[in-house]
Amino acid sequence: MPDTDAGGFQERFFTSSDGLRLYARDYPPDQAATAGWLPVICLPGLTRNARDFHPLALLLSRDMTAPRRVIALDSRGRGNSAWDDNKANYNLAVEAGDVIAACAALGIERAIFIGTSRGGLILHLIAAKRPDLLEAVILNDIGPVLEAEGLALIRDYLNSGRKPADWSEAVDLLKENHGASFTALAEEDWREMALALYRDISGRPIADFDPAIAEALKSIDFSQPLPDLWGQFESLSRLPLMLIRGENTSLLSQESAGEMARRHSGLIRHTAEGQGHAPLLHLDNIPTAIRTFLATCR
């Protein structure tokens, strides 16, 4: 089944502050065409990787009006980035440091960032720690408050122990886990999701992340309130900010999205219809909404 389009990007490797080899996809359009336009850096979700952003990255880097350089990162322990022997390093603070290291290695002094789920949480920390890196931010189905129900669902399906025997079964498993909340997806979309999540090992799909990342979710005590990031969210208040929320998401409540809008009066909100957590950003009218937002940023 695997036939991913390897065109349109350069593979880049760099080293974290603690010596781990990390990976990024770099989508560089014509330099003359992108003069004056800041790059876009994409940060994936908890167990996801740069492949999630491939269709969107091609759209943005090949835009006829304002093409931008797009960089999509693999967090440590995911995709083509090395797994960490110290599993405690799979945390937001360390991964925020990795993003800062990526910017330094790739010569990025300032950028527009797109953060899906955990990637958006990382951006909360970067906004507080290194605000000079951020020109604008797009949060994909994430905010300062995580709903316990949604996080428990993620914990359960990531730790279910079910492993697909082939690519057809991988697609079926994704439909079983997410079909009810992703009603907008066509067959090709499910296939693309499988190709992004799994790596082909001798013809068999293998989840492309360190299992310790999913294992760590088992230690969360859901009888206690989850910590929030409202303090860090305040650091985003000076920036152009867009929130994309899945219509059927269970991780980001309407109440939290409303409070985000109250605290950030300029927040641009977009609903990904027929999608759950986290929306695929290249579907339907989402790219148009992202392009419109980017047009307000240099």
| Amino acid of residue 286 | I
Q: Assign 266 a pLDDT band (cuts: 50, 70, 90).
A: very high
Q: pTM for the complete prediction?
A: 0.95
Looking at residue 294, its pLDDT comes to 97
Percent of the chain surpassing pLDDT 90: 88
Pairwise pLDDT comparison (6 vs 121), residue with the higher score: 121
Residues in contact with 126: Cβ distance below 8 Å, sequence separation at least 6, in sequence order: 96, 99, 100, 113, 133, 134
Quote the pLDDT of residue 193: 95
Determine the pLDDT at residue 33.
64
- Distance, in Å, from the CA atom of 58 to the CA atom of 60, rounded to the nearest integer, reads 6
Q: How far apart are CA 265 and CA 241, in angstroms?
A: 10
Say whether pLDDT at 3 is over 50. no
Residues 174-187 as b/e (b if ≥16 CB within 10 A, e otherwise) read bbebbeebbebbee
Question: What is the strand order of the sheet 241-246 is part of?
Answer: 10-15, 21-27, 70-74, 40-43, 111-116, 134-140, 241-246, 268-272
- The per-residue pLDDT for range 200-229, each reduced to its tens digit, is 999 899 999 999 999 999 999 988 889 999
Q: What pLDDT is stored for residue 5 in this prediction? A: 46
Classify each residue of 117-141 as buried b or exposed e, where b means 16 or more C-beta atoms within 10 Å of its C-beta.
bbbbbbbbbbbbeeeebbbbbbbbb
